[in-house]
Amino acid sequence: MKLQLAIDELNLAEALEALKELHPYVDIVEVGTPFLIDAGREAVRQIKASYPKLEVLCDAKIMDAGAYEAQLAYDAGAEYVTVLGITDDLTIKGCVEQAQKQDRQVMVDLICVQNYAERIPVIEALGVDVIAVHTGADQQHAGRTPLEDLKELKQYTKKVKVAVAGGINSETVGDYVALEPDIVIVGSGILNAADPLKAAKSIKAALR
């Protein structure tokens, strides 16, 4: 079970500083969408250069021009790129084809997908590597969690890896681990914790 650290609200200097103590407990570093908007692909490049043994995910949330936008992320050093599950199948297919050319991976984010039973088999058949349930920040503020979505996702996936994101922290991570996802994505639960290093150690220990 891998721990993915989602960096959203830090700038590039702050992110690199945070990773100095957190990197031993992280498997995948996510250049989150706000971070990507702020720092661009340079964030992917510098994190990969500083921590070559860590995998880097570029949370581009691709909605169009799948092959080209995926290539931009992969060329910067990302192992994973995200594409939205609500987009056109051709866009997802383009991401997959580019990933296969460069020996990289595609994660589909199911944010705003309504019908899992209908959509997940289609996405899986396109050859993606990971499907992630994701409760967005705005939904989290309304009290929603991704726990029930993860349970439903597990019902419909057959061979693809499964990831979960959305407000997970050291107190709640056990509920998710019990459902055996392949990747647990944590952002503020580590970075905004009173003691980020302690939180990262605790979550990583739960994943083991």
Superfamily of domain 2-207: Aldolase class I (3.20.20.70)
Whether the per-residue pLDDT at 205 is higher than 70: the answer is: yes
The percent of residues in the chain predicted with pLDDT above 90, rounded, is 91
Helix-, strand-, coil-residue percentages of the chain, each rounded to 5: 50, 20, 30
Tell whether the model's pLDDT for residue 44 goes beyond 90.
Answer: yes
Share of the chain above pLDDT 70, in %: 97
Residue pointed to by tokens 């997908």: 113
- Three-state SS at 60: strand
Place of tokens 């959305």: 166
Q: Residue 134: what pLDDT?
A: 80
Specify the range with the lowest mean pLDDT, choosing from 53-67, 85-99, 128-142, 189-203: 128-142
What's the pLDDT score for residue 139? 75
Query: Whole-model pTM?
Result: 0.95
Q: Which of 150, 129, 153, 136 is nearest to 187 (CA)?
A: 136
pLDDT in tens, 109-159: 999 999 999 999 999 999 999 999 987 677 767 666 778 889 999 999 999
Q: DSSP strand E in 85-177: where? A: 105-109, 130-134, 161-165
Could you please report the per-residue DSSP string of 155-172?
HH-SSSEEEEESS--TTT
Query: Is the Cβ–Cβ distance between 81 and 74 less than 8 Å?
Result: yes
